[in-house]
Structure 1
Amino acid sequence: MADAKTVAAPPPPDPGTSSRQGHPWLTLLSVSLGVIMVMLDGTVVAIANPVIAQDLKASLADLQWVTSGYLLALAVFLITAGKLGDLFGHKRIFLVGVAGFALTSLAIGLSSSVGMLIGLRVLQGLFGALLQPAALALLRVAFPGERLKMAMGAWGGIIGLSSAAGPIVGGLLVEHVSWQSVFFINVPVGVVAMAMGLWVLSESRAQTLSKVDWLGVVLLSGAMFALVWAIIKAPDWGWGDPLTIGFLAAAVLIGAVFVWWQARVAEPLLPLSLFSNASVSIGTGLMMLVAFSMFGAMFFLTFFFQGVHGLTPLESGLRMLPMSAGMIVASPLAAVLIGKLGTKITIAGGMLVTALAMFLMSRLSLDAAFMDSGIPFVLLAFGLSPVFVGATEIIVGNAPEDLSGVAGGIQQSAMQVGGALGTAILGAIVSARVADVYPGHWADAKLPPLPAEQVDGLKELATFGGAPSAQMMPGVPEQVVQGIAGVSHLSFLDGMHLGFLVSTGVAVLAAVLALFVKAGRKSEDGPIHMG
């Protein structure tokens, strides 16, 4: 095993260097503009998918790749991208990410085939991975010590604002302009982010690192790819399928080799000593659990609003507005509460509020009005914000400044993996529940028997909140079709309720885990342990 080496942290920059370069709040605004592109892109693509399918003659599998290709590239490359920022400069990597994301967005809007679209989405994910950890690392340097909490609070508010605007802007653009416009909108945002970044950001990089651990990059990328790919494909293959088990086993095996190599190389891609800080490890687990709970549960609300209630994409976005808009207020408030009450109490309290919101979601009825979902959404905003703010500050704030890019990559990777796990696992739970209760609802409705293959297709449709129309079932009386629609909606609701109850339990588990964390580093002059 290579000897561990400890080096002194670099001295803080001269406060008299520039009034704008490195200015904390201008830095926050600058990096937020870049990340807003990624947030908008994440919310508007789902809204554009139906129109993309019609325009490019894309199949359901093609549309899954439009999302999965981006997710894979993002999740696989995040930690490596953070390391590149530590080595070559966070400002430089951030600006490369912004420019690349904007240019690939432009190319996506000009795509003439679904294959071209998927390839560009993968490239877009790589550039998105470059800019996100770099943004957090730049904030880590601009807001040292206790001031990082304030930055994370404001950061969360800006993210909440872009999340709130995403479904509304995306719905308006798709309905009144074109699906291409949801990608073109990234171009002017990217131009402004580039200009401001060049003017405002000051360069920061590690003083103690000199090279890239390329074998570590290959091993980590392979492990992350196998893990995320297994999660993405498990709903189609089945969790017990040999392919799913094989990819999960490959992720474990390659991951074990990666850990072995990191313990021996002089300048590891991901120093294992980073996780000797219990708060970094627990903060990473918290980020995964909250992403599991939130993204997994929110995935089904889209089907509930559009499939069961028959709302348009824009109307669905408006239904979710209380949560996204609430985060604009809740995130800065969370930073204040963390400063007054401490990290563990605030995060634990936030997760308990999140658990309450999830439980209320599990009680939604078929005819749920705006306020029935609006109140839990507001609770979610005030429950999740302390966790996002606090867990990010815990991970990035407890890491040495020389590893701030890697820490940002860990935070983002935890969110991506947790969200993918939540969507896949809760999807399997909901699907199994729908299949289990469907025959009972069918019998209660006193519907005539249908061929087994046709019933299986109806169950699959019900898993996504869908119901058959008269055109889908020629020769079947209208009254029977309506009865089947009622059975499908009731079955989906039972599945969604169970999904939210599982999310409630995950949120309670995260609340307990939060009691073991500590706040971020308050001193910037401590030693840095490198391996």
Structure 2
Amino acid sequence: MTSQTAVEKAPQDEISAPAKGLRGHPWLTLFAVAIGVMMVALDGTIVAIANPAIQKDLGASLQDVQWITNGYMLALAVSLITAGKLGDRFGHRQTFLIGVVGFAAASGAIGLSHSVTFVIAFRVLQGLFGALLMPAALGLLRATFPAEKLNMAIGIWGMVIGASTAGGPILGGVLVEHVSWQSVFFINVPVGAIALALGLLILRDHRAENAPKSFDVVGIVLLSVAMFCMIWALIKGSEYGWGSWRTLAFIGVAVVGFVLFALWETKVREPLIPLGLFRSVPLSAGTILMILMAFAFMGGLFFVTFYLQNVHGMTAVDSGLHLLPLTGMMIVASPVAGILITKLGPRIPLVGGMVCTAVAMFGMSRLTIDTGTVTMSIWFALLGMGLAPVMVGATEVIVGNAPLELSGVAGGLQQAGMQVGGSLGTAVLGAVMSSQVTSKLPDNWAAAKLPPLTPEQSSGLSKAVEVGMGPVQPGTPPEVAARIAGVAHDTFVSGMSTAFTVAGIVAVLAAAVAMFTKRGVNAEAGAGVGHI
């Protein structure tokens, strides 16, 4: 083949041949995929700031607004591994470019929507196209960079994700406040156009000679059903009740689906996920580590935004600015982590990173209503410093220990681990918060000598307190309003403290898992194309 999208048949010949010009240049490839990845990572948090404006403008219910986030997360989590397989089959360049175009187009469609139903539908499409884009980006880096430079590349890749994720609330606040909620989505259109143009000029398709030639349709269906039911149970568990028959039914279907999937994968000729991948202890450890890291990070960060906005009364922009120590440290520490991992191997940086993360979580468990900016910044910065080597190292361990022809599946596995861990952390730590509020709120309310509540009032108050709000009715005397707010904030901070303690324990467990990681055994065999 001679076209620009030609698939190379002899990747090993390419490995020794330097890239000529723009196409296939490793650092330019990193720049091109980073633009696309930034678009998806930014969207994960920027939309949360726009939700109240969307609710008001479109007359949406609270449940509708929740599905703006949940629909995106479900589509992304369910599709990631299958999308990675598509990249392995048809080439990561093509998959990446389709993901970029689809994601940008869906974003523009959301901005033009006049109904919350269409917003949710296009958010699901965003998730599907985002799932195509993310594993393909990792697959391109895996195939383009030589082994000695891969950690640095993934470090910069992780830096882009971390900065975009943490910077979302700041940019979202500015756009919603000074432009419109639609601008939060429209901004992806020019970014997507830039990513497409760069991709067409720079990206070079690399497909291993023994890349998969067919699709495991049954495996895709079984895994998708199992992932959907598991994520659905985590999303809806607090609403249904964790012991309710509906929650248990979805969990049961998920377990059965995963078991059937595993059995099927041992019989099919070209499985969706060759289970032999998990014979690699480092790859398995890296996947578990990614889940535990996301559990602690995303589950904990969920409460930080409520703490800053509802307890300290900050605006969305101010709360985003207060998270800059976390963002800034991730930006600084990610490439440094890549250098350290290249020199020392992943084990020591990963263990050290999770120890820092655990210390930060235990430190944040001591936050109070009156904690100042300096103290918060110290813990946020330490958290960023701890997360950086894990984002870089665990990703390299998973992708680097997979054969080149399965780099897309490995990238999907890494991203799916983050989604599952984040959902699990938010659900479990949310349940911890709910339990603490239920047990402490009545005593705190009575101790403040506030009027007794009816069961209905108590239930509504608990839901508000779980996000740090003290619902005060209009006309309430200032003294009583202050006591209600004090009780709500005290109870919330107590629950948050317990949640961060649990997150710290999970981080300690993750540090132990990190002891089983090591540099990718296939790094040399599949390492990179091009000259750096």
TM-score tier, shorter chain, comes to over 0.9
Q: What are the equivalent positions in structure 2 for 1:136-285 lying under 5 Å apart? A: 136-208=138-210, 209-285=212-288
How far apart, in 1, do the equivalents of 2:457 and 2:254 lie? 37
Matched letter for residue 128 of structure 1? G
Q: 1:274·1:399 contact (CA, 8 Å) conserved in 2?
A: yes
The offset of 1:212, in angstroms, is 1.1
Matched, 1:390 2:377: no
**2:501 aligns to what?**
501
> Structure 1's 381 and 523: CA in aligned 2 closer, same or farther, altered over 3 A?
closer
- Secondary structure (helix, strand or coil) at the match of 1:146 reads helix
Q: What are the equivalent positions in structure 2 for 1:458-473 lying under 5 Å apart? A: 458-471=461-474
Q: 1:146·1:522 contact (CA, 8 Å) conserved in 2?
A: no
Q: 1:85·1:92 contact (CA, 8 Å) conserved in 2?
A: yes
How far apart, in 1, do the equivalents of 2:469 and 2:44 lie? 23
- Select between 98-107 and 138-147 the one with higher mean Cα deviation: 138-147
Matched letter for residue 15 of structure 1? A
**1:89 aligns to what?**
91
Q: 1:95·1:197 contact (CA, 8 Å) conserved in 2?
A: yes
**2:305 aligns to what?**
302
Q: 1:334·1:389 contact (CA, 8 Å) conserved in 2?
A: yes
**1:491 aligns to what?**
491
- Secondary structure (helix, strand or coil) at the match of 2:525 reads coil
The offset of 1:115, in angstroms, is 0.3
**1:343 aligns to what?**
346
**1:423 aligns to what?**
426
The offset of 1:10, in angstroms, is 4.6
Matched letter for residue 122 of structure 1? V
Q: 1:9·1:524 contact (CA, 8 Å) conserved in 2?
A: no
Matched letter for residue 457 of structure 1? G
Which of 398, 404, 407 in structure 1 is aligned with 2:407?
Answer: 404
The offset of 1:158, in angstroms, is 2.2
How far apart, in 2, do the equivalents of 1:379 and 1:61 lie? 35
> Structure 1's 58 and 12: CA in aligned 2 closer, same or farther, altered over 3 A?
farther
What is the CA deviation profile of residues 297-320 of structure 1, one whole-angstrom value per residue up to 9, with x for unaligned ones?
000111111111111111111111
Alignment gaps of 5+ in structure 2: 1-8, 527-532
The offset of 1:17, in angstroms, is 5.3
**2:321 aligns to what?**
318
What is the CA deviation profile of residues 396-437 of structure 1, one whole-angstrom value per residue up to 9, with x for unaligned ones?
011000000000000000000000000011000011101111
**1:5 aligns to what?**
none
How far apart, in 1, do the equivalents of 2:118 and 2:464 lie? 29
How far apart, in 2, do the equivalents of 1:397 and 1:358 lie? 29
Matched letter for residue 315 of structure 1? D
How far apart, in 1, do the equivalents of 2:102 and 2:399 lie? 25
The offset of 1:477, in angstroms, is 3.8
Q: What are the equivalent positions in structure 2 for 1:370-381 lying under 5 Å apart? A: 370-381=373-384
How far apart, in 2, do the equivalents of 1:17 and 1:47 lie? 43
Matched letter for residue 487 of structure 1? V
The offset of 1:164, in angstroms, is 4.1
- Secondary structure (helix, strand or coil) at the match of 2:12 reads coil
**1:292 aligns to what?**
295
Q: 1:434·1:495 contact (CA, 8 Å) conserved in 2?
A: yes
**1:525 aligns to what?**
525
> Structure 1's 125 and 363: CA in aligned 2 closer, same or farther, altered over 3 A?
same
**How many residues in Structure 1 have an aligned counterpart in Structure 2?**
517
Which of 94, 97, 120 in structure 2 is aligned with 1:118?
Answer: 120
Matched, 1:445 2:444: no
Alignment gaps of 5+ in structure 1: 1-7, 527-531
**What is the identity percentage for the equivalent residue pairs of Structure 1 and Structure 2?**
56
**2:480 aligns to what?**
480
**1:65 aligns to what?**
67
Q: 1:430·1:463 contact (CA, 8 Å) conserved in 2?
A: yes
The offset of 1:513, in angstroms, is 0.9
Which of 348, 360, 365 in structure 2 is aligned with 1:362?
Answer: 365
Matched, 1:36 2:11: no
What is the CA deviation profile of residues 211-256 of structure 1, one whole-angstrom value per residue up to 9, with x for unaligned ones?
1111111111111101111110001111101001000000010111
Matched letter for residue 104 of structure 2? A
Structure 1 segments (4+ residues) deviating >6 Å: none
Q: 1:164·1:325 contact (CA, 8 Å) conserved in 2?
A: no
- Select between 121-130 and 203-212 the one with higher mean Cα deviation: 203-212
Matched letter for residue 504 of structure 2? T
Matched letter for residue 462 of structure 1? V
Q: 1:70·1:122 contact (CA, 8 Å) conserved in 2?
A: yes
> Structure 1's 522 and 450: CA in aligned 2 closer, same or farther, altered over 3 A?
closer
RMSD: 1.6
What is the CA deviation profile of residues 428-456 of structure 1, one whole-angstrom value per residue up to 9, with x for unaligned ones?
00111011111221232122323232122
Q: 2:134·2:411 contact (CA, 8 Å) conserved in 1?
A: yes
How far apart, in 2, do the equivalents of 1:279 and 1:253 lie? 27
- Select between 69-78 and 340-349 the one with higher mean Cα deviation: 340-349
The offset of 1:12, in angstroms, is 4.1
How far apart, in 2, do the equivalents of 1:484 and 1:408 lie? 48
The offset of 1:9, in angstroms, is 9.0
How far apart, in 1, do the equivalents of 2:134 and 2:147 lie? 21
Which of 65, 78, 102 in structure 2 is aligned with 1:100?
Answer: 102
How far apart, in 2, do the equivalents of 1:54 and 1:256 lie? 44
TM-score by length of 2: 0.95
- Secondary structure (helix, strand or coil) at the match of 1:381 reads helix
- Secondary structure (helix, strand or coil) at the match of 2:366 reads coil
Matched letter for residue 137 of structure 2? A
Which of 123, 135, 146 in structure 2 is aligned with 1:133?
Answer: 135
Which of 327, 330, 334 in structure 1 is aligned with 2:333?
Answer: 330
Matched letter for residue 519 of structure 2? A
- Select between 139-148 and 8-17 the one with higher mean Cα deviation: 8-17
**1:4 aligns to what?**
none
The offset of 1:391, in angstroms, is 0.2
Matched letter for residue 500 of structure 2? F
> Structure 1's 17 and 154: CA in aligned 2 closer, same or farther, altered over 3 A?
closer
Matched, 1:109 2:111: yes
Matched letter for residue 11 of structure 1? Q
The offset of 1:39, in angstroms, is 1.2
Q: 1:343·1:390 contact (CA, 8 Å) conserved in 2?
A: yes
Matched letter for residue 483 of structure 2? G
What is the CA deviation profile of residues 480-524 of structure 1, one whole-angstrom value per residue up to 9, with x for unaligned ones?
232111111100000000000000100000001111111113654
How far apart, in 2, do the equivalents of 1:18 and 1:222 lie? 44
**1:514 aligns to what?**
514
- Select between 450-459 and 417-426 the one with higher mean Cα deviation: 450-459
- Select between 277-286 and 512-521 the one with higher mean Cα deviation: 512-521
How far apart, in 1, do the equivalents of 2:312 and 2:523 lie? 53
